[in-house]
Structures are given as C-alpha cells and as structure tokens.
Amino acid sequence: MSMLETGFASIAVVLVLIALRAPIGIVLLLVSFGGIWAALDFNVAWGIARAIPFDFIANWSFSAVPMFLLMGYVASNGGLTDGLFRALKILLRWLPGGLASAGVGACALFSAASGSSVATAAAMSRIAVPEMLKQGYDKALATGAIASAGTLGSLIPPSILMIVYAIFANVSVGKLFMAGFIPGVLSAVMYVLMITIRVKLNPSLAPRDVQRPAPGETWAAIREVWPLPTLILGVLGGIFAGVMTPTEAGAVGASLAILLAAVRRSLTWDVLKTAVRDAAIGTSTVFVIAVGATMFTSFMGLAGVPRAVSSTLLALGGDNPIMLIIMIGVVYVLLGMFVESIGIMLLTLPIFFPMLQAANVDMIWFGIIVIKLLEIGMITPPVGLNCYVISSSLRGLVSLSTIFRGALWFIMTDIVTLALIIAFPAIALWLPSVMIN
C-alpha cells in the first residue's frame, strides 16, 4: 500500500472510530502514530509523538483557552448570567413569539461569556424552555430556538473553537474574535426575524403575552444583568482597542468575572472550586484533541493527502474561491451529521488549507464560514449535539424528534445567513480591518 493509500485508509478508520463514539483525541493520536510507523519507522513515529505536545503547548495563544473557560464558568456559576432571560422577556414581549426571541437574545449574551455552545444550550434550556412551554408555546419552536441559539457560543467571541482554529490556521486570535462579532449578531437577528414571521403567520405557535410588567419591574430586571455587559465590554473592548492581546484579555476576563461575582456576593468557595475544576477538565480535553490533530496533520502531510485532495478539488472548481467554499461546505454539512464540531474542524483543516491558500482565500473569512458550518452541524440529525443536550436537560419532557423538527427552521435560516457571509465577506472582515493593532 502506497503512502497516499495509507493516508486515505487512515481517514476512513478515524471517521469510523469517531462515529462509534471513541474519544477523538485518542483516535487521532493512535491512528496517526500507527500510520507513520507503518509508512516510515517506529522511531520516527515515537519522535514525532514526543515532540508535538511540547511544541504545541509552547504556543502562547493556547493559554487563552483555560482563562476564557474559567471566565465562563465563574460567570455562569457565580450568577452573572442570572436574569438575562427575564430582562429580555420583558423588553421583547411586544414581538410575536417574544419569549422565543428572548431566549435567542439570552443565548447570544450568554455566549459572549461562555465561549461554549454546549454550555449555552444546557444553561438556557433549563431557564427558557420551561417558561415557554408553560405559556403554551409549540414544543418544537421552544426547544429548536434554544438548541439553535446555543450554537452562537461558537461564533460570538470569545470562542474556544476560534482560538483552536486560529492556532492551526496561524491567524490572529484577536482579529478572528472581531470577525465573528457581526456574523454572530446577524445570526441572532435572523433567528428573531424568522421566529417573528412564523408566529405572525401562525399565531397558534406562540400565544401572546398579555400580562404587563409591574411598575419598576423593567428597570429592576435591567439592573440585575449589568455585570454581564460590563464583562463583555471589558474583554472585547480591550481586544478591539488594542489594549490587550486575546491571551491577556482572557486573564483580565477571568479576574473581572471573579471580581463582579464578589461584588454581587455570589462568589463562594464552592463556586470558585467548581469553576477551576471545570476549566481544567475543559482545557485538558481541548489539549488532547489538539495534540492528536497536530500529529494527524503531520501524518497527512507525509502521506500527501492534502496535495491529492487539493489537486482534485481545484480541477473540479478551478481557482474560483466561491466554488471551493461551496464544495468544502457540502463536506462539512455531511460530516456534521455524524461527527462533533471540533473533530470535524481538526480532521479537515490540514486537508483543505493547501487548496485554500492556492486560491488566495482569506483565512479569517474562511474561519467564520467554518464555524458557521459547524454550528449547523450541532443541530443537524442524527448527531446534533445541542439537540441531545436540550433533550437531556429537559429529562424527556420533549422528544428528540420534536427538537430536531424545531431546529430545521433554524438550519434553513443559518443557510441564508451563511450565504450572506459568503456573498458579502465584509460582514466578517470589516470589523477586523478597523481594529486597533
């Protein structure tokens, strides 16, 4: 078997093992180690396996991951996100389907502190979905809205997926964060617009809220959520103004979250201990996957797989970047039905990068497109992770098939949003272009 055949066979083995729910990082490490050993020599494979973890962890940008994870866990466990849904419920009550739109808005704001789609979906499903069901909302609409809006945790900065992508693509984390802001807001607005139109056409989906807020309740609800905008402004404002690097912003964000929780008197030893533990577990998970992906990248390069795939796709699509993006998008959507997002990204990036560079595709723009495609995968059956998270959080209150049915409308909305980002790259690239270095 030639090196190229070994490379393609290894990809097939990886996909099968991941589909069987084997740990992604371990799969990538073992398959790439075995492939290099079979193709070259055990000593070469062992040497690469020993060197990669040290080389990878030396990347300064990676240290932002534990800081942003700690910030998110402190913000969530320390009560900084409490009251988001309540405040937006009052402010958006005039809209058709206002509770569902409030859930979308709450997910968007929570995402800016969390950086994790799964964490956002899990947290908001326990708050927003029961309230919507109590008010008589259609189950598919209620659960589909939160499952889909939860994916904004990957697109609205700070995002762990963005940090990992930036490291592998060798682009600025700060610029990628800024590039995701407008597409993230656009995605949320498109969700709200779709909900409003659907409910306007079919009022039975979401009964009108006829109960008016009590005097002073609106301002009380707004005052309750002031810590979260303060945290977001402190982190993203510092990056945009060029005052802090993303790594420094992560440390400042974690410190600010702890300070704000202390000011609100919600910071306890248990909250801090749980946040540190969860951040350590999350960082370790990302690190193992990233190390496995780095080794897999080395193996793919040795096998010549990226060069072979690039030649084939370039022959099919020529050097037209849009055609390449569409073909790559189809691959991501198909993989998204079976493999979780970080696995897809780290499995495919080493294969697609050479052809994208040959076609002069802006890698920051492509990064936003990739993350948007991964968001679609997180709510696409049969392995839409966010839908499973919602189902688990609700403990069988709503069937999984109903959640997927509700998410379908949001998938169609995502496709429209993605088409806008592809057709008008400035949606993603304008903010980084005016960012202060």
- Listed by start position, the domains of the chain span 61-433
Q: Is the pLDDT of residue 210 over 70?
A: no
> Using CB atoms within 10 A of its CB, is residue 30 exposed (0-12), middle (13-18) or buried (19+)?
middle
DSSP track, 201-243: H-GGGS----PPPPTTHHHHHHHHTTHHHHHHHHHHHHHHTTS
pTM: 0.85
CA distance 238 to 246: 9
Q: Which amino acid does the sequence have at 272?
A: L
Q: Which amino acid does the sequence have at 46?
A: W
What number is the average pLDDT over the span 53-79?
79
What confidence score (pLDDT) does residue 216 get?
A: 66
Q: Which residues contact 340 (CB under 8 A, 6 or more apart)?
A: 18, 24, 377, 378, 383, 385
| 397 in Cβ contact with 133 (< 8 Å) | yes
Q: Is the pLDDT of residue 421 over 90?
A: yes
What number is the average pLDDT over the span 342-350?
78
Sign of the alpha-carbon dihedral angle for 392, 395, 399, 404: negative
Please give the distance of CA 55 from its chain centroid, rounded to a whole number.
25
| 35 in Cβ contact with 299 (< 8 Å) | yes
What confidence score (pLDDT) does residue 235 get?
A: 85
What confidence score (pLDDT) does residue 422 get?
A: 93
Confidence of residue 143 (pLDDT cuts 50, 70, 90): very high
Q: What are the distances in angstroms from CA 38 to CA 27, 35, 296, 303, 308?
A: 16, 5, 14, 11, 20
CA distance 166 to 374: 15
The single-letter DSSP state of residue 2 is -
What confidence score (pLDDT) does residue 437 get?
A: 62
- Please give the structure tokens belonging to residue 175: 């610029």
Q: Is the pLDDT of residue 45 over 90?
A: no
Task: Count other Cβ atoms within 10 Å, centred on residue 82.
Answer: 18
User: If DSSP codes are grouped into helix, strand and coil, which group holds residue 362?
Assistant: coil
What confidence score (pLDDT) does residue 95 get?
A: 87
Q: Please state, rounded to an integer, the average pLDDT across all residues of the chain.
A: 83
Q: Which residues contact 59 (CB under 8 A, 6 or more apart)?
A: 167
